Amino acid sequence: MKRVVFNRKGGVGKSTITCNLAAIAASKGKNVLVVDLDPQANTTSYLGHDGKDNVVGIAEFMESTISRNYRKFTSEDYIRKTAFENLSLISASYSLVDLEAKLEAKHKIYKLRDFLNNLHEGFDEVYIDTPPALNFFTLSALIAADRCILPYDCDVFARDAMVDLMEELEEIIEDHNPDLEIEGVVVNQFQARAKLPQQAVEELKKAKFKLLKPFISSSVKVKESHAEHRPLIFLEPKHKVTLEFAELYKALSRRSRTRKNNNK
């Protein structure tokens, strides 16, 4: 299963959701790979690495598709272990920015899909973090993935943007990846007692978006986990937000099993 986390809006928690769902899966014994496609490399940092440490990652793989550099590398050479058992990473770096136009010009949009499909190591689950833009790297991820979840940060002005985004995703599914399923919206940074988040959620319901449960609460503990470079399950396994992520992962897994059984 390959899941992409995407929203064109920045600051909605893509990296937080990507890393914490992946970490929950790893804590349950799944062999998990995280792919960071965002030049900001927040996911890379969250998992304890640095995109400037001269270890090859996704930028070097992308470069190998348009030049002779790194041609002798195998797919597994781009994967690094993290400090967390069962959790591996393909890191990002800012050099992705310089590669984007070259990759587009040479029509390399399917290379990520082929790369992930040809990995020799069997990963049970792959999580892909994306930039806050529908650009070459995001489209590559959407083509490569089986599932997509959309983070939402309880901003009432973001509803119309989500409607537009869904229309674009439906077009991508039709043109490039008919097997991609939009699993739903992850409501992030939710404050149950505040009026504005409640209003934002109601706006999504009126627009008939599929809201995934539970919502992820706003908490300073999330920022602490960023600073510690440790996903919540490895930092505070009994914390409220950790348990929300665990329940969300369970709900997504349950949906996947149901779909698999229905397709038999």
pLDDT at position 66 is 96
Give the domain 2-252 fold: Rossmann fold (3.40.50)
Chain Cα centroid distance, residue 89: 12
pLDDT at position 193 is 82
Contact 126, 86 (CB under 8 A): no
Q: Could you report the average pLDDT of every consecutive run of 10 residues in the chain (264 residues)? A: 94 95 98 97 95 88 96 93 97 96 96 92 94 96 97 79 91 96 94 85 89 95 97 98 98 79 59
pLDDT at position 264 is 55
Amino acid type, 104: E
pLDDT at position 260 is 63
* Domain boundaries defined on the chain: 2-252
Global confidence as pTM:
0.95
Amino acid type, 125: E
Sign, CA torsion 251/245/240/196: negative
Alpha-carbon span 120 to 129, nearest angstrom: 22
pLDDT tens, position by position, 100-145: 999 999 999 999 999 999 887 789 999 999 999 999 999 999 999 9
Alpha-carbon span 115 to 79, nearest angstrom: 12
pLDDT at position 199 is 87
Residue 256 is encoded by which pair of tokens?
């996947």
Q: Which residue has the tokens 């674009």?
A: 168
pLDDT at position 52 is 76
